[in-house]
Amino acid sequence: MLAGAMPSRLPAGTGGGSGVNAQAIAPSQERVLAECERQWGTTLEGWRREDECAEAHGLTCDRDGMITSLRVALQHGGSLGSIPVTIGNLTQLTYLSLTSNGLTGAIPPVLGSLTLLDTLDLSHNNLSGRIPASLQHLDRLRTLNLSRNHLSGAIPLALSERLTDLTLLDLSFNRLSGFIPPSLASLTRLKLLNISGSGISCPLPSSSCQPPPPPSSAFCRLCPAFCSSCPPPPAPSPLPNLPPSPAAAPEPSSKQQPPQQQQQAPASAPAPAPAPAPAPAPAPAPAPAPAVPPLLAPQPQPPEPVTSSLHSQSAYPLPPPPGPPVAPEDPLRTSGVSTTAILAIVGAAAAAMLLAAVVWWRCGGQKQQPARTN
């Protein structure tokens, strides 16, 4: 299964020219190349021993002699063995191609430390094992070609979530299992996705695609049934009805007002003056209290405020004037008899009884006493 077209792209500095770059290889990089030759047990014809970085030899270096591009290709076939872990020390690599070298063993996880890699091509070898999840750290990777190997297991989910710049992913002709991660649908830059003969298939249709993949993506061209089951993206909210421009909008005249203004017009007219409220009836004069002795006379009380009846006669009730909190009313006051009046009555009755006792003692009591004899 192949989606898209294979781009004809070669990295800068890997052409077939015969010129030699005068830049010397840094000693640390030269030790890495020597370790690779020692592990592979052969001297590669493409690598010259003058410690020079040459495009024709599959090497490209920067000004500091750090290798930025490495391409290894056997001239007459054969097998090099496994991938040396010392390649992880070529930290400035942006292009690594080890295709068609009969490599065996697993892909070393140390390749995940080459964070500047733009292209990783390990196709047409005999590599086995799982795809290492450490490749998720190659966040600048654009081309990943692992086709024509014996890789097994599922595609690591982290690859489809972290490698957002991928434009080519070729996993064809392997021994993988499971389904393509649905998160690959979110890789909008992916132009080619090849899983032909790899043992994996498209994911089952689902209604929980978040976010929905674009129909033109390489994933949807490869798995149209999955993408068609995803709900369409929500439609953009309609723009509010904007008022016309001031040049086109006619100004409202005084003769024709909007309905809202016409409804408010009667409210703005002056209301007729209300009829004068009748004067409140004068309060009845309190009954005169009986005379009491000065010692029992009640203390003067402040006059009670007269409640106006304008609030009850007004069409719109007014809030009560601010003032101190009103204490609860005395039950005697609410019944019409004030405490002062009761005290006055009790005091008057006591004074009357005392006066009567004094009069009786002076008048009637002395008459009843026997006359004294000389």
* CA torsion through residues 106, 196, 165, 236, sign: negative
Give the C-alpha separation, 184 to 203, whole Å: 11
Q: Would strands 104-106 and 150-153 be described as parallel, antiparallel, or unpaired?
A: unpaired
Say what the pLDDT of residue 1 is: 52
3-state secondary structure of 127: strand
Distances (CA, A) of 189 to 143, 147, 163, 166, 181: 11, 20, 10, 6, 16
Angle 176-192-121 (CA atoms, 0-180°, nearest 5)?
65
3-class DSSP state of 101:
coil
CA angle 145, 149, 153 (to 5 degrees): 90
* Alpha carbons 45 and 39: distance in angstroms, whole number: 16
Q: Any bridge partners for residue 175, and if so which?
A: 152
Torsion angle (degrees, nearest 10) of CA 156, 157, 161, 163: 10
Q: What is the pLDDT along the chain (374 residues), one digit of tens a residue?
A: 544 443 333 344 433 333 444 578 889 988 998 898 888 877 665 565 556 676 666 888 998 999 999 998 876 667 889 999 999 999 999 999 999 999 999 999 999 999 999 999 999 999 999 999 999 999 999 999 999 999 999 999 888 888 999 999 999 999 999 888 888 888 888 899 999 998 888 887 765 565 666 666 788 888 888 777 666 555 666 655 656 655 555 555 544 555 444 444 444 445 555 555 555 555 555 555 555 444 444 555 555 554 444 444 444 555 666 666 655 555 555 555 667 878 888 888 888 888 888 888 887 655 555 555 54
Radius of gyration of the chain (CA): 54
| Residue 124 in tokens | 């047409």
pLDDT at 203: 83
As a whole number of angstroms, the distance between CA 140 and CA 191 comes to 16
